Amino acid sequence: MNSIWRLLLFVYNLLLIILSGMLIAAAVGRPEPLHYIEMALSTTENRIITGIVGVILLTLGVYVFISTIKLQPRVKSVEVDRSLAGEVSITIPAIKLIIMKAVKKVEGIKEIKPVVNSGRDGLEVYLHMMINPDVSIPELSKNVQDAVRKYLEDIGGLKVAEVKVLVDDLGPSFKSSTS
């Protein structure tokens, strides 16, 4: 969160606290909030200033509201290279296809579902796998991690930060899938 955004939220929350305090004070019978409102609206000059402050607060409130409900765009591609000639990117579905191709070379996997995120240090790959029950899980996991890392770096030109593997159900009921 950048500093301007934090400042806007601070001012917005501070004014909301002040307004809430004034409403509570008026609700319990204190005359001061009503006196301040009368004073703010007593002259034309004060009404103009109050109107300007109201417009600023309304604008700030609408901006905060829209900013909080706006969805953040998902990363649809990952930058591979940037040079004077231009930029090269690869889409997340293409990265998943490279992962599936790498995994096909490793024996003992029945099904795999990759999830790819772009992190600061490179790609973060999460693999949810279903494997044959007669395969060594540590050995298979290491082979899959190495194969996926090698393929993504060699074929995709991508930097891989980590490849995490989750081995799930070892039963024979699952079919091989590439989705």
In tens, the pLDDT along 80-110 reads 777 788 888 888 888 899 999 999 888 888 8
pTM of the model: 0.53
Residue 176 has pLDDT above 50, yes or no: no
- Residue 174 — pLDDT band, cuts 50, 70, 90? very low
C-beta separation of 58 from 48 below 8 A = no
77-168 belongs to which homologous superfamily?
Cation efflux protein, cytoplasmic domain (3.30.70.1350)
pLDDT at 54 (0 to 100): 85
C-beta separation of 161 from 124 below 8 A = yes
- Residue 179 — pLDDT band, cuts 50, 70, 90? very low
Give SS3 for 6.
helix
Domain ranges of the chain: 3-69, 77-168
- Residue 73 — pLDDT band, cuts 50, 70, 90? low
Using one digit for the tens of pLDDT, what is the confidence trace for 27-41? 898 888 888 888 888
C-beta separation of 149 from 163 below 8 A = yes
C-beta separation of 114 from 178 below 8 A = no
Residue 177 has pLDDT above 60, yes or no: no
pLDDT at 71 (0 to 100): 66
Residue 171 has pLDDT above 80, yes or no: no
Residue 75 has pLDDT above 70, yes or no: no
